[in-house]
Amino acid sequence: MKFIHTADIHLGAEPDAGSSYTAKRPEELWNSFERLLNICEEEQTDLLLIAGDLFHRQPLLRELKELDYLFSRLTHTQVVLMAGNHDYLKSTSYYRNYKWQGPVHMFLSQKPACMEFKELGVRIYGISYEEREITEPLYEKILPEKIGISSILLAHGGDEKHIPFRKNELLKLGYDYIALGHIHLPAELAKDRMYYAGSLEPTDKNDTGKHGYIKGEIKNGRTRTDFIPFASREYVHMEVEAGRE
């Protein structure tokens, strides 16, 4: 079973707003995500896991329709996503009642749920934010069933205001893979088992370094992963000497 894990796309964000050189950055976020969907199609990826903050704020209805059109072009990949703290499920969110035409499966509650894909031999566990801040360690209470099927946890957060968790406690639960979002820099918390994918594109001057996605495979009970650099831009901190002529 082949998967791609991404997070923190932040569609609708305006990085460095007000600067003439960044006028096209909001469009670049959409273009980058579309390129990722093209990779899913070309490689016939089984699952695309989106660990929160697909949008930078509450999505507009026309934005969901545009996104749905992009998803509808996938002929093989199943998309599983959750709402994060930026695009949380407020009472008026268009997420709540949107009928996806594409192969999209979304967690629509702050109560833990499970999605099973028998043809892929995997269950995906997760929630969605229904408020901006959640201080309870919800993920440590989500126990996977480990009978003849792989399990993946889709999770967003990790600090005191956004579903805190203890890494070792999550690993003890026995998931084959834990797909994390919220932190914009990619980070390996446990080799081949637990990663922050980081944001697909840098959206802030502090988002330095490489940005991309996690490419993984679960085969014969073993998970293998690689970080794939993908961003079209990169922030670099530089020291510049200034002198008099």
How confident is the model at residue 214, as a pLDDT? 98
pLDDT one-digit tens code per residue, 145-194: 877 799 999 999 999 999 999 999 999 999 999 999 999 999 999 999 99
Query: Residue 243: what pLDDT?
Result: 75
pLDDT at position 18, please?
65
What pLDDT shows up at residue 237? 85
pLDDT category of residue 100 using cuts at 50, 70 and 90: very high
Of the pLDDT bands very low, low, confident and very high (cuts 50, 70, 90), residue 197 is: very high
What was the pLDDT predicted at 245? 64
What is residue 235's predicted lDDT score, i.e. its pLDDT? 87
Report whether pLDDT(107) > 70: yes
Rg, C-alpha atoms of the chain = 18
> Considering Cα of 10, then 15, then 17, then 23, what sign does the dihedral take?
negative
Give the mean model confidence (pLDDT) for residues 56-73: 97
Residues 6 or more apart whose CB falls under 8 angstroms from that of 116 comprise 122, 123, 124, 149
The owner of tokens 């805190």 is 164
Question: Lowest-confidence range among 10-19, 86-95, 213-222?
Answer: 10-19
Taking the CB of residue 97, how many other CB atoms lie within 10 A of it?
Answer: 7
Predicted pLDDT of residue 146: 74
d(Cα 72, Cα 89) in Å, to the nearest integer?
23
For the cut 80, the answer to whether the pLDDT of residue 60 exceeds it is yes
With b for 16 or more beta-carbon neighbours within 10 A and e for fewer, the 173-201 pattern comes to bebbbbbbbbbbbbeebeebbbbbbbbbb
Report residue 32: phi and psi, to 5°: -65, -40
The predicted-structure confidence for 83-97, as pLDDT tens digits, reads as follows 999 999 999 999 999
Phi, psi of 33, rounded to the nearest 5 degrees: -65, -40
Q: What is the pLDDT of residue 217?
A: 98
As a whole number of angstroms, the distance between CA 199 and CA 213 comes to 8
